[in-house]
Amino acid sequence: TQLLEQSPQFLSIQEGENLTVYCNSSSVFSSLQWYRQEPGEGPVLLVTVVTGGEVKKLKRLTFQFGDARKDSSLHITAAQTGDTGLYLCAGDRGTGNQFYFGTGTSLTVIP
Amino acid sequence: DVKVTQSSRYLVKRTGEKVFLECVQDMDHENMFWYRQDPGLGLRLIYFSYDVKMKEKGDIPEGYSVSREKKERFSLILESASTNQTSMYLCASRLTGGRGYTFGSGTRLTVV
């Protein structure tokens, strides 16, 4: 059983469209990260959110941490082909040194 | 530029072989991790280490062991490789209290 569920699992959109990826759990996290992984490479950290209700922006990417710190969303505005990749959320329960990963959302942006 | 380096990008090994996957980080991080990544299953933690010579089992330690003799190096050992260990293996490190992992580029292992 995954601690963090991501949806959708696959997403294929046209360049210029907007999209939202969700990361949900029944557990509370002290922080939550989002990573992007390109084919054949390791995940790269995009952002960490810590406070319930927090919103962070990274250019066209907007990350939000739920008020109860159980869920998060990633919104991409005007997607570009360079956004293609696997998006992973990961949560820190604050009980040790490991993070718990979601199953990932594979995004393909079509030119 | 800080980084985590995994010794091999691709490996092909035979069933029953002993396999060593090496990972080195240059960030002086205390914590190092080995994950495997399989389609539909996400990243699953195999082992982690929070200090030299210290190790903790993750969610799927069976068939694996680890070694951490120096702070910068964390090795994953497949004692007797089997075909169900064919996977992408990712090494990561983290500063204690740090906000995220730094990952290596991964090793794609195929066991035939």
Q: Residues B9-65: pLDDT tens digits?
A: 999 999 999 999 999 999 899 999 999 999 888 899 999 999 999 999 999 999 999
Structurally, chain B folds into a number of domains equal to 1
Binary contact (B106, A2; C-beta < 8 A): no
Phi, psi of B18 (to 5 degrees): -90, 130
> Domain with B59 in it: what CATH number?
2.60.40.10
In percent, how much of chain A has pLDDT > 90?
Answer: 87
For chain A, the residue count is 111
Contact: B58, A88; criterion CB under 8 Å: no
pLDDT of residue B36: 96
Which residues are within 8 A (CB) of A41 and not within 5 positions of it... i.e. 6 or more apart? B105, B106
* B91-111 per-position pLDDT tens digit: 999 988 888 899 999 999 999
Which domain does B35 fall in, by range?
4-111
Query: What is the structure's pLDDT at B41?
Result: 85
- On the question of pLDDT at B1 being above 70, the answer is no
- Say what the pLDDT of residue B103 is: 96
Q: Are B40 and A103 in contact (CB under 8 A)?
A: yes
Neighbour tally for A70: CB within 10 Å: 18
Burial of B105 (0-12, 13-18, 19+ CB in 10 A): middle
Mean predicted confidence (pLDDT) in B81-98? 93
| CA-based nearest residue in chain A for residue B10 | A40
- In percent, the amount of chain A with pLDDT more than 70 equals 98
Going by C-alpha positions, the residue among B101, B110, B86, B108 that lies closest to residue B4 is B101
Closest approach of A3 to chain B, Cα-based (Å): 11
A88: nearest CA partner in chain B: B42
Q: How much is the pLDDT for A1?
A: 58
pLDDT in the model for residue B12: 97
Mean pLDDT, rounded, for A86-93: 94
Cβ neighbours for B68, distance < 8 A, ≥ 6 positions apart: B32, B49, B51, B52, B53, B54, B55, B74, B75
Instruction: Output the pLDDT for position B19.
Output: 97
Model pLDDT, residue A70? 95
**Predicted confidence band of residue A94 (pLDDT cuts 50, 70, 90):** confident
Question: Domains along chain A?
Answer: 5-103 (2.60.40.10)
| B23-59 residues labelled b (16+ CB within 10 A) or e (exposed) | bbbeeebbbbbbbbbeeeebbbbbbbbbeeeebbebe
- The reply to whether residue A97 touches residue B41, judged by beta carbons under 8 angstroms, is no
A24-42 in b/e form (b: 16+ CB < 10 A) is ebeeebebbbbbbbeeebb
